[in-house]
Chains A and B, each alone.
Chain A
Amino acid sequence: MSITKSAHNRVLPGFGLTLGYTIFYLSVIVLIPLSALFFKTATLSWGDFVATVISPRVIASFRLTFGAAIAAAVANAVFGTLVAWVLVRYRFPGKKLADALVDLPFALPTAVAGITLATVYSSNGWLGKYLEPLGIKVAFTPLGITVAMVFIGLPFVVRTVQPVLEELEPELEEAAACLGANRWQTIRRVLLPSITPAVITGFALAFARGVGEYGSIIFIAGNMPMKSEITPLLIITKLEQYDYAGATAIASVMLVISFVMLLVINILQKWSRRYAA
């Protein structure tokens, strides 16, 4: 009774149809492949599963992958926001070009990006030869992995923060100026609270991309077990050795960690939007 009533109360018809379609689509694209992952994992005994995923090499790769992805997402949240700010608020020659450059990491084949980064940061590369004397080794270290993740994650933050900055009501800043807030107070008390939800979204996207990234990282990573071997590479290695169950075991742990982290970020984001009109 109550169901038919609420169905009649909807202005737009087709709720049942669209919901059905959504569930069907999500099942085909996301749920079925993912459940296959867990079914394959289930062919392992519990003991084998645990042994696989807590082996030191696997744990080291988890730590590296998630650590570098978080570090890169933090860097992008800060500098991507700055880039978005400059692109929205200032006019300068070459601005259109700079704006287009932001999307480059989206479009570039990841292998090209990886080879380029590895070349530029290697000990005799354009940047590497200046960093090396300072004792900063980038290529073939965890730092290099983070650099690659920063590179591929940048557009996510810029492109989520930029429209929010563009749409920001000028009254908010004008009121602040009227009320005697200086520039720094206006940034801290008006601008930052306004863009925080967008920055969190950008952070989540950049983080997720970093965790899943393979192509642009393996060239710069060096891929030394325990030191600079990311989890996706480890999974590929296992696949190449026909250890499908082992590969899916690692993959499912990675999936669960990613899912939990994204869930937390989503909750955080919802919380940060709690006062939106």
Chain B
Amino acid sequence: MSIQTSKIKLSAVEKHFTSARGERQVAVSPLDLEIQSGEFVCLVGPSGCGKTTLINLMAGFEQPSAGSVTIDGRPVSGPDPDHIMIFQDYGLYPWRTVLGNVLFGLQAKGIPAGEARDRALATLELVGLRHAIDKHPHELSGGMKQRVAIARALAVEPSVLFMDEPFAALDAFTRYHLQDELLRLWQETRPTVVFVTHDLDEAIALGQRIVLMAPNPGRIQRVLEVSLPHPRERTRDDFAFFRRELFTEFHLVHQMALQEAEYSI
């Protein structure tokens, strides 16, 4: 473990925002985190604990107020097609077809049309949307839209996938289905995945490591290794063990947050 160099490294990373009224708000207090190449890490925590801020720092949408974020040893200075963000609201282009959306990144890279098309079709095959390539996003269900977004990301062959609550807007059945799909894609293409969720079960189903965060100020409460092989059977006893573990910890975080809120009133 120690010989392996980490893919993503956060050292003493800190982020504060200044509100419109000039108050300084700490979104992420100094924290360290290392993520290995090919690892699947989940960030969980109650809303407002800085999950989005943290993933935005890693993806290059935000710059840290202090400390450093590096990917492959290089400081993250902005968005990069090698590490792609997948959003809860899909971020698809409504005027482009499914195929057109997947082609977007390949066109931006200047890949010749024929090759781009082949690659886009192969990726759409991978996510099971080969039959829907000529549809527009408004004709698709939420789950299909998110699969298009995933295909669009995978088509440019990133080494890291950042996902900020990507399945939060979907119904439970679609969510389970896409979780399994994502695991399959991850096992086939092996990117490093950083996955934000507020759903503890989702984190246990997916993550090799779960980073539990706590609010006020945003920080890491505990890191849990989930030593179960994928795919994980959600009804098994060992799944329930990690579930109990995480829920207990989450309960503590939640109570602390509530108490702090009471004190501050």
Residue ranges of A at the interface with B (Cβ–Cβ < 8 Å)? 169, 171-172, 174-182, 185, 189-190, 193, 275-277
Contacts and interface: CB of A to CB of B under 8 A. Distances in A.
B181 interface: no
Contacts of A176: 104, 108
Contacts of A175: 85, 87, 91, 149, 152
Given A171-B90, A176-B104, A178-B80, 11 more contacts: A175-B149, A175-B152, A176-B108, A178-B84, A178-B85, A179-B81, A179-B84, A179-B104, A179-B152, A189-B104, A275-B138
Contacts of A172: 91, 93
Interface string B84-99: 1101011101110000
Contacts of A185: 108
Contacts of A177: 78-79
B55 to A, nearest CB: 12
25 contacts: A169-B91, A171-B90, A172-B91, A174-B61, A174-B79, A174-B87, A175-B87, A175-B152, A178-B84, A178-B85, A178-B105, A178-B153, A179-B81, A179-B152, A179-B153, A179-B156, A180-B81, A180-B156, A181-B105, A185-B108, A189-B93, A189-B104, A193-B95, A276-B138, A277-B138
A194 to B, nearest CB: 8
A270 to B, nearest CB: 14
B123 to A, nearest CB: 13
B59 interface: yes
Count class of interface residues, chain B:
20 to 34
Interface in B56-108: 59, 61, 78-81, 83-85, 87, 89-91, 93-95, 104-105, 107-108
Nearest to B109: A180
A190 B101 CA distance: 11
B136 interface: yes
A181 B108 contact: yes
A171 B94 CA distance: 12
B218 interface: no
A193 B85 CA distance: 22
B137 interface: yes
A178 B138 contact: no
B195 to A, nearest CB: 16
A172 B137 CA distance: 13
A249 to B, nearest CB: 44
A181 B85 contact: no
Contact of A179 (B87, B89, B108): B108
A275 B79 CA distance: 28
A275 B136 contact: yes
A175 B80 CA distance: 10
A182 to B, nearest CB: 7
Nearest to B59: A178
